Amino acid sequence: MGGQLTRVTPEQRDLALVEVGTKSVACDGGGGPLGHPLTYYEIGAEGTVVCGYCGLKFVLKI
């Protein structure tokens, strides 16, 4: 993955979805003891991707 990357923040941990401005995202569940391993995702043509660990949904804002 090259270019810009959006990474989830602890403040976004409990949100139903996170609007992002990049197609590449990284999620660790917000880090800390409630987090999970850092995983990377690429938002496709549908404009969304869901973290396989915590279910956080990333939506590409247009």
Q: Is residue 37 part of a domain?
A: yes
Q: Is residue 34 part of a domain?
A: yes
Q: Is residue 1 part of a domain?
A: no
Q: Is residue 53 part of a domain?
A: yes
10-38, pLDDT tens digit by residue?
A: 788 777 789 999 999 999 988 778 789 99
For residue 8, the model assigns a pLDDT of: 81
Please list, in sequence order, all residues whose beta carbon lies within 8 angstroms of the beta carbon of residue 32, skipping any fewer than 6 positions away.
10
The two tokens of residue 41 are: 């995702």
Print the domain residue range for 45. 6-60
For residue 39, the model assigns a pLDDT of: 95
Q: How far, in Å, CA of 17 to CA of 2, rounded? A: 23
Q: How far, in Å, CA of 15 to CA of 4, rounded? A: 22
Q: Is residue 17 part of a domain?
A: yes
The two tokens of residue 15 are: 């949100």
Structural domains counted in the chain: 1
pTM of the model: 0.81
**Which CATH number is 56's domain given?**
2.60.260.40
Kindly report the average pLDDT of the chain as a whole number.
Answer: 88
Predicted confidence (pLDDT) at residue 53 exceeds the cutoff of 80:
yes
Do the Cβ atoms of 40 and 16 come closer than 8 Å? Answer: no
Q: Is residue 46 part of a domain?
A: yes
User: Mean pLDDT, to the nearest integer, of 48-60?
Assistant: 94
For residue 2, the model assigns a pLDDT of: 53
